[in-house]
Amino acid sequence: MEIRRTDDATPFTTADGSTIRVLLDADQGGAREQSLAEAWLEPGQSTQRHYHARTEEIYVILEGRAEMEVDGDRREVAPGDAILLPPGAWHQITARDESVRFLCCCAPPYSHDDTFFD
């Protein structure tokens, strides 16, 4: 059984500009087909609008409110919301007046090489 604590994961900035810490993936815990990370943005901060050619993502909002844009559809998201980001869908998340913290599940696992920008 693999158990990792969020406090033991080292934060880093992804290609899209969010700060994350990987909880489980091929390098951290041996998950071969997916990855799970905790991500956060400071108030007013946005990820850079991007898409993933191969990767399907699911975001689960844990704290704070944000605006989520997926292929031009913009909606407010809040704790308890889960958002599906299909492969090829342009997306961006922007923290509102407070920081936002969310889980990001990627299948196949997140890769900088599969992140594309305008």
As a whole number, mean pLDDT of residues 14-41 equals 91
As a whole number, mean pLDDT of residues 22-51 equals 93
The pTM assigned to this predicted structure is 0.93
pLDDT category, 40, cuts 50, 70, 90?
very high
Least confident of 2-6, 40-44, 71-75: 2-6
Question: What was the pLDDT predicted at 67?
Answer: 98
Helix (H) or strand (E) run with residue 49 in it: none
Percent of residues, the chain, with pLDDT higher than 70: 100
Give the long-range contacts of residues 11-16, CB within 8 A, separation 24 or more: 14/39, 14/47, 14/110, 14/112, 14/115, 15/48, 15/50, 15/112, 15/115, 15/117, 16/47, 16/48, 16/50, 16/115, 16/117
As a whole number, mean pLDDT of residues 51-73 equals 98
Question: What was the pLDDT predicted at 118?
Answer: 84
pLDDT at 14 over 90: no
pLDDT at 109 over 90: yes
CA 25 to chain centre: 14
Domains by residue range for the chain, with CATH: 11-117 (2.60.120.10)
pLDDT category, 54, cuts 50, 70, 90?
very high
